[in-house]
Amino acid sequence: MRKLHISLVYCFKVFILSILPMSAYAHTGGEALVSMFSGFSHPFLGIDHILVMIAVGMWSVISGGYRLWLFPLLFMLAMLVGAMLNFSGMEMNGIESWVAFSVLALGCIVRQNREIPTIFASGLVIVFALGHGYVHAAEIGSDTSVNSYAMGFLIATALLQGTGMAIGLFGPVVLKKIKNIFGLICALTGIVMLAGI
């Protein structure tokens, strides 16, 4: 339990250090705050984003070891890259299906709790995060600061992933029950989303 707590604190410190350089490029004053709030609020406006980010945090706890910090950090970095691809004007087809499938896949992964090679698991995290980052960037307004907006949704992502990771603090018995229910909710939500596309 103590080891998990130390790892969570370490992940938080690494995340804070990773976003500090971005603040140097952000606009100052009210515009930056509005842009950051806009970016921060976006992940909470879609059930797909909420489920996937919590699922990544939960998956990292279930996997344990260095994956505890690897998966969340990979997700945030890849999501930032996905957002940059959108900001640069690059078009990605079928992005909604991509995001919906990530909800289904992560739900199955969390519920089944089967060992997946780190390289393959990391690849899944990166691919899913690229899609979510791209979608986040698509919602930005024309008068919004890109850097502040990105910082906002990264902070929100860290909080949601931290929620999933914190479930591990309740112990293996509670974690098993929650992951089974949560995984099922994710899988069913993903199926419904894919059916509606």
More confident residue, 1 or 27: 1
pLDDT, tens digit, for every residue of 81-129?
Answer: 999 999 888 888 889 999 999 999 999 999 998 889 999 999 999 999 9
pLDDT, tens digit, for every residue of 147-175?
Answer: 888 888 899 999 999 999 998 888 888 98
CB 85 within 8 A of CB 130: yes
Q: What percent of the chain has pLDDT over 90?
A: 54
Vertex 154 angle, CA 118 and 6, to 5° = 60
- Show the tokens assigned to 23: 């603040």
CB 89 within 8 A of CB 155: no
User: For 42-94, where are the alpha helices, taking DSSP H only?
Assistant: 47-63, 67-87
pLDDT of residue 26: 38
